[in-house]
Structure 1
Amino acid sequence: MKPFRYVRARTVEEATAAHGGRPDARYLGGGTNLVDLMKLGVEQPGTLVAVQDLPLDTVEELPDGSLRVGATVSNSDLAAHPLARGRYPVLSQALLAGASGQLRNMATTGGNLLQRTRCPYFQDTGKPCNKREPGSGCGARDGVHRDHAVLGHSPQCIATHPSDMAVALAALDAQVELHGSAGARTLPAADFHRLPGDRPERDTEIEPGELITGVLLPPTTAGLPSAYRKARDRASYAFALASVAVVLDVRDGVVRDVRIAFGGLAHRPWRALRAEQALVNGPATDDAFRRAVDAELADAAPLRDNAFKVPLARNVACDVLRRLAGAPTAS
């Protein structure tokens, strides 16, 4: 057993000071991913900074209509919150599509964003993995990669990001609030995670020692018809083969606004900007939806065993768009 230092922080400042930006320090929320990785020997922190006691466990409405979700709010509590369910159904649906009820009770908003890939080569210390050990190679590329990326991957890494919640946040134009030694800042949720490039070991744009303190849901997407759909191998407790989060505003048969994000296809939630641009101010028809989604997926580069993900993602996205096009705007 590898010994480690354990600090139970009471304030954000105490937490960031205890972490100190050290490479072997980790923040511990619900522990549903980090503890598993410690058991596997993938993570071997020298310092664990527990953040469960920080005053970040509330969902509050701001004067401008935004909704701030604290970083330690559990996935179950957020999914069931009346304001989240009523204004941002895509987020509630995405949370309920993830993991099991027991895990959702423990998992936190901040921890969900920071969970790492479930690629079996990453989780097995006996296998080569550039994300776990830079320069060791990518065992999945010529190995078992049915569940892996078809968009945005690199020769260094073909892993996908496992979060359902993060896909919904990308589609909602949410902001991630951070606090570190340089103070507070925000990042768009759609830009929070990185593509692998030649640095697959770096999952996010977080600077060393920064702590997620919350997520800000904007008023611009509140109340619009939205939905999350997830295709997976079994009905529950399975990661996405392909998923989609859609926010859609249709008036008089014309797409006034649309936001689309895919999950299960890339190293990060994939915001479908090309498809969005093709749809805005155009007709809300099946043909238009299919052309737009096909344009987004045109750059897909599937591997030997996962080409099925491209038509799967297309069909899931078009079905959600079609259904939402007839949905009334929430009051």
Structure 2
Amino acid sequence: MRTFEYVRATDTQEVVRMLAEDPSASCLAGGTTQLDLMKDGVLEPPTLIDITRLPLHGIERRGESLHVGALATMEELAADSTVAERLPVVREALLLGASVQLRNMATIGGNLLQRTRCRYFRDPAVLECNKRAPGTGCAAVQGAARMHAVLGVNENCIALHASDLAVALVALDAVVHIQGLSGRRTVPLTEFYVTADESPERENVLEHAELITEVEIPLPPPSARSGYLKVRDRVSYEFALTSAAVVLVVEDGTIRQARVGLGGVGSKPWRAYEAEHVLTGAPATSATFQDASEATMRDAWTVPGTAFKVPLARRTLVRELQTVSGVTA
């Protein structure tokens, strides 16, 4: 790891100003991704700004939405009473997303901004990486690609977005609040991320001199049921091969509302609008769930190492739709 200047900040606007003045500076919160990338030599910021003392902590319910400070930890959000009561999909995604030790360190803002887990991106010795060095190619397309994406990708990049929490939040229509030099703005999380087939080198719309300050999560109707299923190679401390976040309102055997997010398959947390279109207004049956899963994966782009993810993602979604709805036949 290269030497760097360490700065501790206490004012949000001050951090924004420092970032604007130094395009190579970087922020440090929980550090669970940032420090790994610095140790790997992928990131080498000459200045590291510690933002942990900014007034961006806290979790507050306001009416039918939950407002989460960007510096609240994963463990704090998982323990929140509103999350337990109204947002089981979020709680399950958090608990399955990391060990207790990491959840006590990792922040919500940092989790949403975590970089890809692509082994080629994280190895500076690999020269072919359009995400790290645009125009050089994608080593993963011809290499071992078991942990890579099949949606929102092409031959230029198949890097995967690894956040479990973000999958649940895109299904819930969460919104991120952002502060920059020119003031504040809000961006729906479904519009926050950039797919690899659009721009491999860019993962989201956040500008350098901007900070996520808060995440706003609309609460689903009290009658809604939700859950998160994560399929992985081992039970703990492992990233998803596939995952599904499901929020349903079922009345008299008919699906009145459906929200679906997919993980482990997309270059961004994937909102499965095609599945929602099939589900909404349809009977809650396994046949409907199968149709929804097939619609979702229709446009998958695979290489030999990722082809298995298409049927696995379909089965994952069907299983979680069955679990949340209570319909198994």
Task: Please tell me the TM-score bracket, short chain as reference.
Answer: over 0.9
Distance (Å, rounded) in 2 between the aligned partners of 1:278 and 1:28:
42
- 1:199 to 2:199 alignment: yes
Please list the CA deviations of residues 69-94 of structure 1 after superposition, one character each: whole Å capped at 9, or x if unmatched.
00001111111111111111100100
Shift of 1:116: 0.5
Alignment of 1:7-156 (within 5 A): 7-20=7-20, 22-62=22-62, 64-127=63-126, 128-156=128-156
For residues 291-302 of structure 1, the aligned pairs below 5 Å read: 291-302=291-302
Cα deviation, residue 223, structure 1:
5.9
Report SS of the residue matched to 1:274. Answer: helix
Task: Kindly provide the CA deviation profile for residues 27-64 of structure 1, in whole angstroms up to 9, marking residues without a partner as x.
Answer: 111000000100111001122121101111100111x3
What does 1:268-287 correspond to in 2, within 5 Å? Answer: 268-287=268-287
Query: Could you say which residue in structure 2 is the equivalent of 1:166?
Result: 166
Note the residue ranges of structure 2 that are not aligned, 5 or more in a row. Answer: none
The answer as to whether partners of 1:172 and 1:221 remain within 8 angstroms in 2 is no
- Which SS does the other structure have where 1:102 is aligned? helix
Is the alpha carbon distance of 1:165 and 1:223 closer, same or farther for their aligned partners in structure 2, counting shifts above 3 Å?
farther
Q: Which moved more, 1:200-209 or 1:236-245?
A: 200-209
RMSD between superposed Cα atoms in Å? 1.4
Query: Do the aligned residues in 2 keep the contact of 1:156 with 1:198 (CA within 8 Å)?
Result: no
Query: Is 1:311 matched with 2:311?
Result: yes
Shift of residue 217, structure 1, vs aligned partner:
0.8
Cα displacement (A) at 1:198: 5.1
Distance 1:222 1:174, change over 3 A: farther
Alignment deviations for residues 77-129 of structure 1 (CA, whole Å, 9 cap, x no partner): 11111111111110010011112111111000000011101111011000021
Equivalent-residue separation in structure 2 for 1:252 and 1:25 (angstroms) = 55
Distance 1:21-1:147 versus aligned 2 partners, 3 A rule: farther
Identity of aligned residues (%): 48
* Residue correspondences, number: 326
CA contact (8 A) 1:21 1:208 kept: no
What is the rounded CA distance, in whole Å, between the counterparts of 2:286 and 2:255 in structure 1?
A: 12
Can you give the 5+ residue segments of structure 1 that lack an aligned partner in the other structure?
none
What one-letter code is carried by the residue in structure 1 that aligns with 2:51?
Answer: V
Q: Residue 287 of structure 1 aligns to which amino acid in structure 2?
A: A
Q: Is the 8 A contact 1:22 1:208 kept in 2?
A: no
